[in-house]
Amino acid sequence: MDLEKRYEKLIGYVEVLLNGKISSLFVLGKAGIGKSYHVMKTLKENDISYIKIAGHITPIKLYNTLFEAENNDTEVIVFDDTYSIMKSEESVSILMACLWAIDGLRTVTWLSNSKYLTSPEAFQFTKKVILIQNSIPKGSSLYALLDRAYTYTLSFNYEDLIDIMYEIAKHPSPTLSPEKRKKLVEFISKHSGPGTKISLRNQNRLEDLFTYHKNWRLLGLEELKVNQYVIDLLKKHKTVKEAEEEFVKNIGCRRTFYNLKKSAKV
């Protein structure tokens, strides 16, 4: 399947957000599967002015940032893995006011004498918001925002991710030809399986290992956490034979299982 086809729904939601009445979009899904990349890519391709906030932000800084965005050429605010917002009822309350209109207006307020408040105590918010998260923890106040937004969960199985890596490998990187990139995807495919956890970030890291270290295969196995997978299987099953059978079923190499078992000293 064409790479863009795999992200067609995500791209569609972003484009509808930009043009429609709904003011926010939640994008959920496991880490390292291309959520942030394709959101930013779509915004850039549509010539959208946006700011991206990643990491920690306090409630009062959130309020000030939203006011600043309202008063400049920013069209979209992207929150990328800002888990501090999910833990703060104050931050969620601010976003609730930003994302839902009453009588056609989205009025945000912060009544405080704090010296850190650099914005008016109330303002009208008209911009769009995208929140990108791996997941929303149970009990998070952020659930109160979901019915005010589009929500899309991006999901790929193991075979999908390998196929996407092969599609990415068709194009040269700054340091590797398509042939060498394909060789690395074959390595990932050979030494992983549905039972191992992989993401597109593994591909990026493997390419660095290949480029900058002569013993990249050894480091590559460590990167893919194959050793730990063998250890987990041995803990899970009563016999080595049972662990071997599941390993072979998911990865397909009996010799690799015993080599890793030996190196793991279990």
Q: Using one digit for the tens of pLDDT, what is the confidence trace for 124-159?
A: 999 999 999 998 878 777 888 888 899 999 999 999
pLDDT greater at residue 218 or residue 5: 5
216 in Cβ contact with 187 (< 8 Å): no
- CA distances from residue 135 to 37, 97, 164, 254 in whole angstroms, order as listed: 17, 22, 22, 35
β pairing state of 122-124 and 128-133: unpaired
Is 78 a residue whose pLDDT tops 80? Answer: yes
Mean pLDDT of all residues belonging to the chain: 90
Q: Which pLDDT score, from 0 to 100, does residue 252 have? A: 66
**Given a cut of 70, is residue 6 above it in pLDDT?**
yes
> What is the mean pLDDT of the segment spanning 212-232?
83
pLDDT at 157: 93
**Which amino acid is it at 217?**
R
The confidence band for 180, taking pLDDT boundaries of 50, 70 and 90, is: very high
Sheet holding 128-133, edge to edge: 50-54, 76-80, 128-133, 24-28, 150-153
pLDDT, tens digit, 9 for 90 and up, residues 182-195 = 999 999 998 888 87
CA distances from 146 to 45, 48, 133, 150 (A): 27, 24, 13, 7
DSSP 251: T
Q: How far apart are CA 250 and CA 195, in angstroms?
A: 6
Cβ pair 144, 96 in contact under 8 A:
yes
DSSP 3-state assignment of 175?
A: coil
Residue 185 CA from chain centroid, whole number: 20
Instruction: Copy the structure tokens of residue 261.
Output: 């078992």
Q: What does the block give as tokens for 32?
A: 């390292």
266 has a pLDDT exceeding 60: no
Highest mean pLDDT among 133-142, 160-169, 237-246: 160-169
pLDDT of the residue at 264: 64
Q: Are 197 and 223 in contact (CB under 8 A)?
A: no
**Residue scoring higher pLDDT (227 or 212):** 212
**pLDDT average, residue stretch 223-244:** 85
Q: What is the mean pLDDT of residues 47-76?
A: 96
User: Which helix H or strand E contains 151, and what residues bound it?
Assistant: strand 150-153
Does residue 199 register a pLDDT over 90? yes
Predicted pLDDT of residue 140: 78
Predicted confidence at residue 2, as pLDDT, reads 78
101 by DSSP, 3-state: which?
coil
pLDDT reported for residue 196: 77
Going by the DSSP 8-state scheme, the letter that residue 196 receives in this structure is: S
Residue 226 is predicted with a pLDDT of 74
pLDDT at 258 over 60: yes
Q: Which of 5-9, 28-32, 35-39, 244-248 has the least mean pLDDT?
A: 244-248
- Mean pLDDT of the 148-177 span: 94
Spans of all domains in the chain = 3-153, 158-264
Structurally, what CATH architecture does the domain formed by 3-153 represent? 3-Layer(aba) Sandwich (3.40)
Q: Model's pTM, two decimal places?
A: 0.83
Name the residue with higher pLDDT: 84 or 19: 19
